[in-house]
Structure 1
Amino acid sequence: MPYADVGGNVRLFYTDDGDGPPLLLVHGWGADSHQWSWHIDALAAEHRVIAPDLRGHGYSSVPDTGNTPRMMAEDLHHLLSRLGVQQVIAAGHSMGAQVVSILAVEHPEQVRGLVAVDPGYGMTAGIARGFPEMIAGLRGEHPHAVAEAIDEWCTNAATPAVIRRWHKRRLYGMPPHVLAQAFEAMFTGPDAIGVRPASDDYLARRQCPVLSIWSDPERAKWEAGLLKHPASKVVCWEGSGHRLHEERPAEFVHLARGWLGTL
């Protein structure tokens, strides 16, 4: 499987399947590109599908510092350049939706469209009040137990046991400093875009069409008010867990392929 040096002594693992318009798939916090195993074959029937492990995750390099969505987006910018890919549609789940949104804002020429899957942004102040304690726990004596407790928020009765188990095992394999750095940079760091109103100000700068798929109707309605491009679309699968694309893979592929065909 391929690796690419993207600068700063960071080497990304990625897979590259299919042929057609390029599609970049970006996983969430504490996961890796295996998260897209439910979808790659179907999407690769019509697209060139590139699925990287973000820095600090999976088989990619684990830097001591810089494990943030902004640096991850820069890594992807360099990866696409290394692969000779001028423009992609970028899909991201959770933290990955932050990463691809940053890529779209900072390098708009590279991103033709976005698919945001239950994005890790738009958090309200009420939710955000708990983040400092979570970050302190991730930096404490039992970071993986704290990460597992945080991950409970990602599941509900709709989540199959195999998905719960897969992500629990993946979290316990993560370097603790990566979990803490990435979570902090998403929500409480000086450049964080995960909490309103920082989310509003930054995401309004996206100029490309966006398909956003939510499990939370309130945040779905909120993001609908930010989207400018006429081809943008917001969908809510109320009752799903946070990893709704894993819980409902066939429906996700059907929705994504239909929307991609309109671009």
Structure 2
Amino acid sequence: MPYADVGEDVRLFYTDDGDGPPLLLVHGWGADSHQWSWHIDAFAARHRVIAVDLRGHGYSSVPATGNTPRAMAGDLHALLAGHLGVPQVVAVGHSMGAQVVSVLAVEHPARVRGIVAVDPGYGMTADIAAGFPQMIAGLRGEHAHTVAEQIDEWCTNAATPAVIRRWHKRRLYGMPPHVLAEAFEAMFTGPEAIGVRPASDDYLARRGCPVLSIWSDPERARWEAALLRDPASKVVCWEGSGHRLHEERAAEFVHLVERWARRLGW
């Protein structure tokens, strides 16, 4: 399987399957590119599918610092532009990955034809954000993985299959604690965080490309719909799904993304 050196201390693991208009698949916090095992073969039937482990995650390098969505987006740009020579992608990101691909689209707009944001890790309201400092303190404490598991409980509900719960729990316990803490903080409370409103509104409104946004929460779906500028953008809400709705409803997810990509000529 391929690796790419994209910085002084960052080596990314990625897979590259299929042929056709490229899709870039970007996992969420505390996961890795195995999260896309439900989807890669189906997408690869008509796309080149690049699935990457973000810095600090999976088989990629674990820097001592700098494990932030902005740095991760920079890594992806280096992977696409410098290592693979891919001029443009439709970038699919789940949760934190939706932040990462949004940063990629804002800071490197020519690189991104469109975004698929899967139950994105942005648009949090102040009442939810009030609990983040305590969570971050816990992630920096001696029981970081227990705290991470407690945070992860929010990602599931009665509809979530046990195998998905188990997979993500095991992955979290394999994560370096400092990466969990640093990435979570950078998403929501750090100086450049875009995960909480109104910072989310200001930054995401800068995305110039079409966005397909798929939510489990109808209120946050309505909120993002008001931010989208490109007429090819679309917001879908699968109310009742868990946070990992693309894993719970994998075939439906692939069908939805493929139909939207075709409308973009992708």
Tell me how far apart the structure 2 counterparts of residues 242 and 8 of structure 1 sit (CA, whole Å). 34
What does residue 35 of structure 1 align with?
35
Q: Residues 74-98 of structure 1, C-alpha deviation per residue, up to 9 Å, x if partnerless?
A: 0000000110100000000000000
Aligned pairs for 1:119-134 (under 5 A) are 119-134=120-135
- Is it true that 1:63 corresponds to 2:69 in the alignment? no
Residue of structure 2 in register with 1:154 after alignment: 155
User: 1:179 — aligned with what?
Assistant: 180
Superposed CA deviations along residues 153-177 of structure 1, whole A, max 9, x for unmatched, are: 0000010000000000000000000
- Alpha-carbon distance in 2 for matches of 1:237, 1:138: 30
Could you say what the CA RMSD is over the residues aligned between the two structures, in angstroms? 0.3
Match of 1:24 in 2: 24
The aligned residue for residue 258 of structure 2 is 257
Aligned partners of 1:14 and 1:200: how far apart in 2? 31
Matched, 1:229 2:230: yes
Distance in 2 separating the partners of 1:46 and 1:203: 29
Structure 1, unpaired ranges of 5+: none
Query: How far off its partner does 1:9 sit?
Result: 1.5
Q: Once superposed, which parts of structure 1, at least 4 consecutive aligned residues long, lie more than 3 Å away?
A: none
What is the DSSP-based 3-state SS (H/G/I as helix, E as strand, rest coil) of the residue aligned with 1:242?
Answer: coil
Q: How does 1:1-263 map to 2 (within 5 A)?
A: 1-81=1-81, 82-263=83-264
Equivalent-residue separation in structure 1 for 2:8 and 2:168 (angstroms): 29
Aligned-partner Cα distance in 2 for 1:212–1:138: 29
For residues 124 and 199 of structure 1, the distance between their equivalents in structure 2, rounded to whole angstroms, comes to 10
Rounded Cα–Cα distance in structure 1 between residues aligned with 2:140 and 2:91: 31
Helix, strand or coil for the counterpart of 1:90? strand
Displacement, 1:8? 2.4
User: Residue type of the partner of 1:179?
Assistant: L
Letter in 1 for 2:61: S
SS in 1 for 2:61: coil
CA distance in 2 between counterparts of 1:241 and 1:258 reads 23
Match of 1:6, SS state, is: strand
Q: Secondary structure at the match of 1:261?
A: helix
The one-letter code matched in structure 2 to 1:21 is P
How far, CA to CA, are the matches of 1:254 and 1:48 in structure 2?
Answer: 16
SS at match of 2:92: strand
Q: What is the SS of the residue equivalent to 1:153?
A: helix
Q: Give the secondary-structure state (helix, strand or coil) at the position aligned to 1:256.
A: helix
2:132 is aligned with what amino acid? F
Quick one: distance in 2 between partners of 1:8 and 1:38?
A: 33
Note the alpha carbon deviations across 1:124-145, whole angstroms, 9 max, x for none.
Answer: 0000000000000000010000
Which amino acid is the alignment partner of residue 64 of structure 1? Answer: A
Mapped to 2, the partners of 1:120 and 1:216 lie a distance apart of 12
Structure 2 unaligned blocks of 5 or more: none
Matching residue's letter, 2:180:
L
Find the aligned partners of 1:235 and 1:92 in 2 and give their Cα distance: 15
Q: Deviations for 1:29-81, whole angstroms, at most 9, x for unmatched residues?
A: 00000000000000000100000000000000000000000000000000001
TM-score w.r.t. the length of structure 2 is 0.99
- Tell me, in whole angstroms, the C-alpha distance in 1 between the residues paired with 2:20 and 2:255: 17
Percent of aligned positions that are identical: 86
